[in-house]
Structure 1
Amino acid sequence: MKTLRTAATAALFAFSIGLVAPMIPAEAGATDPLFINLTSDDGHRINMALVFGGSQLKLGHPLTVFINDKAVLAASKVNTGKFPDQQKTIAGLLASGATIIVCPMCMKHYGVAEADLLPGLKVGNPELTGSALFQDGARTLTW
């Protein structure tokens, strides 16, 4: 009977660990990459994403910003009048080593030509975007 009780207790303990273990948050490494998915054309939301990303870049986290949906409008020189601060921040991030990728399907949808992109921005493709998104240890955020 004692052996049965011990086995039952061990099984219950193992089952409990199995339920709790997936809920334990993963710890971020000191240099884990950050992938920011930027979809908004709201100036404040763009600033939040870029400034947060820049802060993490300064802390040693490689930064990739994927500009898609309406955010592609902020990546166009045509819209400098509407996004002057955001475009300065983009230039600063690029100068600091960030990678900024722009969604080609979204560019087409919103009428943004490749020739109108800010200098240093890369037009996305599955390999380029996927290699940044699926890096080991990468963390993602969306604005």
Structure 2
Amino acid sequence: MHFISRILLAAAIFLGGLNAGFAANTDPLFINMTTSDAHRSTMAIGFGKSQFERGHQLTIFLNDKGVLIASAANKAQFTNQQNMLSELVKKGAVVFVCPTCIKHYGIKESDLLPGLKVSNPDLTGNALFQENTKTLSW
């Protein structure tokens, strides 16, 4: 009986340690979003929001057609996505916008949603290459 008690105690400590390891994981998340597709962009932003709410630092990098969502001029087409981005920025997430892409798609910096930042290699690199950062792309 004493042997079984020791095994159960060891198992409880081991399983508790595993649970603590998962619960304490707050690695940063970097989402590269190249799409303006309504479903795919909502999925990307929504996934980021879910992880941000779980304690992960969040950076969303809007590039290629993803920059279309960043423009206030496109509010009618991207209301849901823009509301989600604005909410995230207000809570401390970072949203970078590709400068080359906004130029390509004719978006003026003054048209970007409040709180979104035009990126540069240093800003993007610092977020992307931060220790233990995980990346996803949509």
Q: Same fold (TM over 0.5)?
A: yes
Match of 1:65 among 60, 65, 69: 60
1:96 Cα deviation from its structure 2 partner: 1.5
**Which structure 2 segments of 5+ residues have no match?**
1-20
Name the SS for the 2:104 alignment partner: helix
**Partner Cα separation in structure 2 for residue 55 and residue 74 of structure 1:** 19
* Counterpart secondary structure, 2:36: coil
Residue 110 of structure 1 aligns with an amino acid whose one-letter code is Y
Identity %: 56
2:122 is the counterpart of 1:124: no
Equivalent position amino acid for 1:126 in 2: P
Runs of at least 5 residues in structure 1 that lack an aligned partner in the other structure: 1-26
Distance 1:50 1:96 in 2: 14
Matched, 1:134 2:119: no
Count of aligned pairs:
117
CA distance in 2, matches of 1:49, 1:98: 14
Structure 1 residues 63-102: aligned runs within 5 Å: 63-102=58-97
Structure 1 runs of 4+ with >2 Å offset? none
The one-letter amino acid paired with 1:124 is S
SS where residue 65 of structure 1 aligns?
Answer: strand
1:37 matched to 2:48? The reply is: no
- Indicate the RMSD between aligned Cα atoms, in angstroms: 1.3
Bigger Rg, structure 1 or 2? 1
* TM-score (norm. length: structure 2): 0.82
